[in-house]
Structure 1
Amino acid sequence: AFTYHEFTTWLGTVTLPLVGLGFLSLSWEILLALYRSLSIPGCCWKLWATLQWGIFTSATLGVFAISLVPFTAIDPPSSRQLWPGLRQLFGSLERFQLVASYGLFRRMTGTGGRPEVVLQGSHDGHSWTEIEFLYKPGNLSRAPPVLTPHQPRLDWQMWFAALDHHSSSPWFTSFVHRLLQGQEEVVALLQGGGCQYPFAARPPRYLRAQLYWYRFAPPGSSGLWWQRQLVGDFYPPVALGDPTLDTLLQQMGMKEQAPPRPPPTAVLPWLLLSLRQLCQPVPAPVLLWSLYSLLASVLALRALRAPLRPGAGTALARHKGPPRRGGEPGTAGGERNGHRNGHPRRREEEERAEGHGDRPKAARRRK
């Protein structure tokens, strides 16, 4: 193990050398690309390749330069040693999101419990019904589902919303507003895969959210996976037309109603929308694992069939190939042709030669 001070000291030691190592690696690739461009035969093609090399090299060096700002942000002393012009260039191009920093969570919630937002709806404002999400902890008796490689966006964002005040998650106010309106696209995010939205028949009149602290239940609990403790209110009770909700929507810039989106008329958007509606009843993890299993099965079958192709082709060529003239040695055709082309035929040729050789002798005798 190591302390936080030791870790920061190690970061200060390796950050700038890693920048130098990256620059050397990039320089090697640039020189190698230049050599390949100059090795192309033909003057015009060589000029065209060199022009492409110059364009891509300039773009790559620019991206590498501005990426040093977020890369060295993990170690402030190393970041302060960068040329100030790089920070100005990064600031002017940051809105395009060409580069970004990456870092693991320093501290993961869940070792001693985790905060969870529990959404509740009501028709009268007195009796409240919990709205269960598809994947995140909610029902105390439901086991944590296996999601990999699916990434449930709504449930993932609900975890971040629970870490701070609801004003830090402006989308949550819009989410509550759409549920009060009963928007089908938003309601569809809360039902399916064995989870039923309790207000599918009629939208709730009131909505509120409370913050709980969830922990795993100890072994031996009767059918319980979770234990929870109420922390406090996360979102106040609101309704459509409520001044509190209108004020929150106004503060978040969501008061203006966007015009309804027209239905897709092009073929590709219509096809994607139809495919999404067709796959909607199937849970996302099941759908993804089914596709992966199908792909693995196809690759396995192709791998099993590959060794059989050369043998099948050889057997086919052996049966369909043109027969040799005179037959193969040792076959019936070879025996027949051998009888005709063998010793009897050789004897006939010798006798014919002897006959031709005797004629001049007989002519000389007559003379």
Structure 2
Amino acid sequence: MWLGAASLGWELLTALWRWTQVRGWLRKLWAAVQLSIFGTATVALFTISLVPYSYMEPSTHGRLWTGAHRLFGAVEHLQLANSYGLFRRMTGLGGRPEVVLEGSYDGHHWTEIEFMYKPGNVSRPPPVVVPHQPRLDWQMWFAALGPHTHSPWFTSLVLCLLQGKEPVILLIQNDVTRYPFHKQPPNFVRAQRYKYWFSQPGEQGQWWRRQWVEEFFPPVSLGDPTLDMLLRQFGLQDKSPPRVRSSSNTLTQALHWVRRQLSPLEAPTLLWGLIFTVGAIRIVQALLGHRPSGSCPAARKENHRPAPKDSGVTPAPTNSSSSQPPQRRK
């Protein structure tokens, strides 16, 4: 906020200095009118914008000048200023909401299902995913912002985990052995909602601290009436199986082979490897493309070719229109 005020003050002083450089009383008067109107409007708009901008910091919001609140309330219906950023409260004030999936064989002992990228295990550091976009982990954050009924796909995810579908499991862990139920699908699946914070400097061995909030999705199993009701409600039941695509052509088989070879690699590692490989190729091409002209064998041969002996005759000019005979050198 103070940085914005300093920047605004600098711009106003710059505009005032430019006004002093205007020549002619008529132009100077017109420039003064413009400076007064636009300067007043800019200061007023900046003051109004402080109110929604400070929503992210309640203590600062409460210390704002009361006149700014009154001015914002008077023009709020015009929507002249809004809260800053598309996701200005992305992680939520008071903690980052996260959904943690759990599976069980007996309905009493539960095991958390760890994702590759989203917060889960409090002792695991946040991974670097740029430039990869983990779609499922990203959608899990959106699901945590409201009830599970606002995210119908979550019910389908639970069903796929109960069925043990490998393509869905690979979205959670590209290394299937890290999935706790890779040998046998769980009989029960449920989800809990937590709030996560980064740990304090004194907390050794932990990157996060979390607090249980509520049950996000009730425990269900295959054939459970609650699960069947949700599937019918969202239109996810009795869907025809996907059409099996033929993989007889060579290109399809080659792509499947490449995918199997690269599947153990995490997506960020693969993408950064491709980026560095392309960069290395471009650097080598740039180095090879700037050879000195003397390094060319043909040029060296041309430079070392012996000069012809002087025959005493001046060669004829290159102009074909000249008809003068060659002259003998004295």
Give the Å deviation of 1:250.
0.4
The answer to which structure has the higher helix fraction is 1
Q: Distance in 2 between matches of 1:296 and 1:257?
A: 46
SS at match of 2:245: coil
**Map of 2:295 onto structure 1:** 312
Q: CA deviation digits over 1:49-83, x for unaligned, max 9?
A: xxxxxxxxxxxxxxxxxxxxxxxxxx9969xxxxx
Moved more, 257-266 or 117-126: 257-266
Aligned mate of 1:284, from 267, 276, 286: 267
**Map of 1:36 onto structure 2:** none
Aligned mate of 1:212, from 194, 206, 216: 194
Q: How does 1:23-102 map to 2 (within 5 A)?
A: none
Q: Tell me whether 1:179 sits opposite 2:167 in the alignment.
A: no
Q: Distance in 1 between matches of 2:245 and 2:77?
A: 50
Residues 1:269 and 1:8: Cα distance change in structure 2 (over 3 Å)? farther
Q: How does 1:1-367 map to 2 (within 5 A)?
A: 1=1, 6-7=48-49, 104-109=86-91, 112-192=94-174, 196-265=178-247, 266-308=249-291, 310-313=293-296, 315-319=297-301, 323=305, 327-328=306-307, 337=309
Give the Å deviation of 1:301.
1.0
Q: CA deviation digits over 1:301-327, x for unaligned, max 9?
A: 1112222153333x422316895xxx4
Q: 1:142–1:225: 8 Å Cα contact kept in structure 2?
A: yes
Which amino acid letter does the alignment assign opposite residue 273 of structure 1? H
Q: 2:197–2:209: 8 Å Cα contact kept in structure 1?
A: yes
SS at match of 2:277: helix
Q: 1:113–1:216: 8 Å Cα contact kept in structure 2?
A: no
Q: 2:169–2:176: 8 Å Cα contact kept in structure 1?
A: no
Which amino acid letter does the alignment assign opposite residue 209 of structure 1? A
Q: Distance in 1 between matches of 2:260 and 2:157?
A: 21
Residues 1:76 and 1:322: Cα distance change in structure 2 (over 3 Å)? farther
Structure 1 length-normalised TM = 0.60
Structure 2 length-normalised TM = 0.66
Q: CA deviation digits over 1:23-70, x for unaligned, max 9?
A: xxxxxxxxxxxxxxxxxxxxxxxxxxxxxxxxxxxxxxxxxxxxxxxx
Residues 1:255 and 1:224: Cα distance change in structure 2 (over 3 Å)? same
Give the Å deviation of 1:268.
4.4
- Runs of 5+ unmatched residues, structure 1: 10-74, 79-102, 329-333, 343-367
Q: 2:124–2:207: 8 Å Cα contact kept in structure 1?
A: yes
Which amino acid letter does the alignment assign opposite residue 305 of structure 1? L
SS at match of 1:119: strand
SS at match of 1:308: coil
Give the Å deviation of 1:289.
0.3
SS at match of 1:221: coil
Residues 1:302 and 1:5: Cα distance change in structure 2 (over 3 Å)? same
Residues 1:4 and 1:197: Cα distance change in structure 2 (over 3 Å)? farther
SS at match of 2:109: coil
Give the Å deviation of 1:267.
4.7
Residues 1:160 and 1:274: Cα distance change in structure 2 (over 3 Å)? same
SS at match of 2:276: helix
SS at match of 2:178: coil
SS at match of 1:201: coil
Q: Distance in 2 between matches of 1:113 and 1:263?
A: 45
Q: Distance in 2 between matches of 1:224 and 1:341?
A: 94
Q: Distance in 2 between matches of 1:113 and 1:4?
A: 30
Q: Distance in 2 between matches of 1:4 and 1:194?
A: 54
What root-mean-square deviation, in Å, do the aligned CA atoms of Structure 1 and Structure 2 show? Answer: 3.1
How many aligned residue pairs are there? Answer: 243
Give the Å deviation of 1:245.
0.4
Residues 1:119 and 1:298: Cα distance change in structure 2 (over 3 Å)? same
Give the Å deviation of 1:191.
1.9
